[in-house]
Amino acid sequence: MKKYLVQSIRLTLVLTVLLSIIYPLGIALMGKLSKGNGEGEKVYKNGRVVGYALIGQSFKKPEYFWGRPSAVGYNAAGSAGSNKGPSNTEYLKEVSNRIDTLLKYNPSLDRTAIPADMVTASGSGLDPDISVQGAKIQIKRIAAYRNIEEKKIAELVTLHTKGPLLGLFGPSTINVLRLNLALDEIK
């Protein structure tokens, strides 16, 4: 019995040092070596921070690209999904309202062309990216509100499209904040 007790105490001490000291220090070091030095990748406009590249923001004006809906109101302190399933009537009503809003501001849009990411919240509620299709369905609306050729806005979408991770994993995406900042630069 004494043998197992000593082994248990040793293992507890080793794991305590490993998981309470070495691992957190390693993660902190990796954060300091990343973009933004572990404080997030800030996005600047005219020398002023306007947001973070990895945290979604709410854009409501029709002359801007809209991002993915957020279950937490884009509050980074409370990251969470809606946790509502596809059979939840309240959730279905929210999705239906989002579809109706998209159709109201994009009258030429066909209901079946709306990608899921434009009407459903992400798991974190903070997704800063939308799908390429999510951006393309908004081009006509933005061009009309800004009185800019659709072709120019489509080129901007293509320019800001980020391919899959390592060319293999996940879909192509577009960062909504960066795209909207570039949109403001069009004369």
Summarize pLDDT for 45-81 with one digit per residue, the tens. 888 888 888 888 888 899 999 999 988 888 877 777 7
The residue-averaged pLDDT of 21-38 equals 84
**Global pTM?**
0.79
C-alpha–C-alpha distance, residues 24 and 39, integer Å: 16
Q: What angle do CA 109, 99, 50 make, to 5 degrees?
A: 95
Q: What is the pLDDT of residue 170?
A: 85
The residue-averaged pLDDT of 125-134 equals 90
- Complete edge-to-edge strand list for the sheet that includes strand 173-175: 129-131, 173-175, 161-162
Of 64, 151, 51, 134, nearest to 99 (Cα)? 134
C-alpha–C-alpha distance, residues 151 and 141, integer Å: 13
The tens digit of pLDDT for each residue in 144-174 reads 999 999 999 999 999 999 988 887 888 899 9
Q: Are 40 and 54 in contact (CB under 8 A)?
A: yes
What are the C-alpha distances in Å from 160 to residues 3, 70, 175, 177? 62, 22, 7, 11
3-class DSSP state for residue 50? strand
Residue carrying structure tokens 């081009």: 139
Q: Is the pLDDT of residue 121 over 90?
A: no
Q: Which residues contact 150 (CB under 8 A, 6 or more apart)?
A: 139, 140, 143
Q: Which helix (H) or strand (E) holds 177?
A: helix 176-185
Q: Band the pLDDT of 36: cuts 50, 70, 90.
A: low
